[in-house]
Amino acid sequence: MTPEVIRRLPKTDLHVHLDGSLRLSTLIDLARRKKTTLPSFTEAGLREIVFRDHYANLSDYLAGFQYTVAVLQDREALERAAFELCEDCQAEGVRYVEIRFAPQLHVRSGFEFSDVVRAVDAGIRRASRAFNARPEVASGREPRFAAGIILCALRAFTPEHSEGYQRIFAALPEASPRELGLAASIQVARAAARLRHDEGLLVVGVDLAGQEHGHPAEEHAQAYQVAHEAFLGKTVHAGEDYGPESIFQAIGMLHADRIGHGTWLFDASKIKEGRIADKRAYVERLAQFIADKRITIEVCLTSNQQTVPELGADLARHPFAEMRERRLSTTICTDNRLVSNTSVSNEIRRATEAFALTDREVRDILIYGFKRSFFPGTYLEKRAYVREMINFTDRILETPQPIP
């Protein structure tokens, strides 16, 4: 499968963070306009100092977000970032993307939670209209572009994170960290439901992100029940820096439809709960449950390799290989296009090389992305959209390709 074929294939990105996917040129431009300090004001300098190819650990990987979040504090910046992210996706053949972010990180006086989401929604709609109006798309020769929004709650935060979190601490001065975390995630779930159903924005689901260790998913069960009762899509960062029991909490207690990362799904040595006596049996049953229920894992290969020292330089060691062997539902995602210096096409190319994927296997993975998306239309509209992508994919793969 040549790079050109990969580029032409319709793809999804169901796990991509807005604040981790800015264009470097945009980050520099916004920082200059807003007089925000950066370690360097050149793209080469930022690549050398902040957004590198290798990171020491997850904390090192996340350090660059302090700069991207700092410049995304008004409507213009957020709308621009969302618009450009959609453009970058469109340019490499991504035809459906779910952009996730934590609105509470961008709240300030005069710019409230709903205003943040509306700004991102406006950027997505503008990019979608422009792309779908192209003659080759309007005529049906090229597939349409669509997108959704996922709102993120955070497992851990401090008042220093944003004015939005300062308000939560001020409103609940006697609350424990667990109570504060739940209150913040309930705010996200309720806002997601209201913005989706009352305002008709492109909000399609909720996510729980941040450090897993010491901040179990079960603490946010009530918030996810709110999202569940509002018929929203539910995804959870789990198994990224904690063991299989974190993944089970996401599925069993938070009703997760999809799992972000799931890196340690098969590693029984990562299980910490003493009540689990037979750790290997626990892993086997969990993997079987995920397979049987078709719970999709959002796989982020480059990001995992950059943040998980155990993977080293050999991508073939990634558990994606075992996920494929067990026929789990997986979809390949970028996580953060800027921070990981990647694209969906690059992730597919790397997966194809590291795991010797056949054209048929790549096709199935791409189609899983469309099928397991939280598409913002009706079920019948989604079925028609998925069929459109399947037909276009099959036409590309059935066309003889020149020998490179």
Catalytic annotation, residues: 240
Residue 26: CB atoms within 10 A of its CB come to: 18
For residue 384, CA distances in Å to 146, 221, 229 come to 13, 34, 26
Ranges of H-type helices in 198-317 = 221-229, 244-252, 279-292, 301-307
For residue 112, CA distances in Å to 18, 40, 68, 104, 105 come to 18, 31, 19, 8, 11
In this structure, what token pair is assigned to residue 257? 């439809």
| Tokens 């069929």, located at residue | 387
Q: Which residues contact 52 (CB under 8 A, 6 or more apart)?
A: none
What's the one-letter identity of residue 41?
A: F
The interaxial angle of helices 113-132 and 75-91, nearest 10 deg, is 30
Half-sphere exposure of 175 (CA within 13 A, CB side): 15
Using alpha carbons, select from 10, 46, 1 the residue that is nearest to residue 339.
46
- Between CA 343 and CA 346 the distance in angstroms is 5
Q: Measured in whole angstroms, how far is the alpha carbon of residue 198 from the centre of its chain?
A: 24
Confirm if 87 and 145 have CB atoms less than 8 A apart: no
Confirm if 128 and 147 have CB atoms less than 8 A apart: yes
| Tokens 């049953």, located at residue | 285
85: left (phi over 0), alpha (psi -120 to 50) or beta: alpha
- Between CA 30 and CA 293 the distance in angstroms is 44
Using alpha carbons, select from 146, 83, 87, 149 the residue that is nearest to residue 114.
149
| Tokens 């930022």, located at residue | 46
- Between CA 283 and CA 267 the distance in angstroms is 7
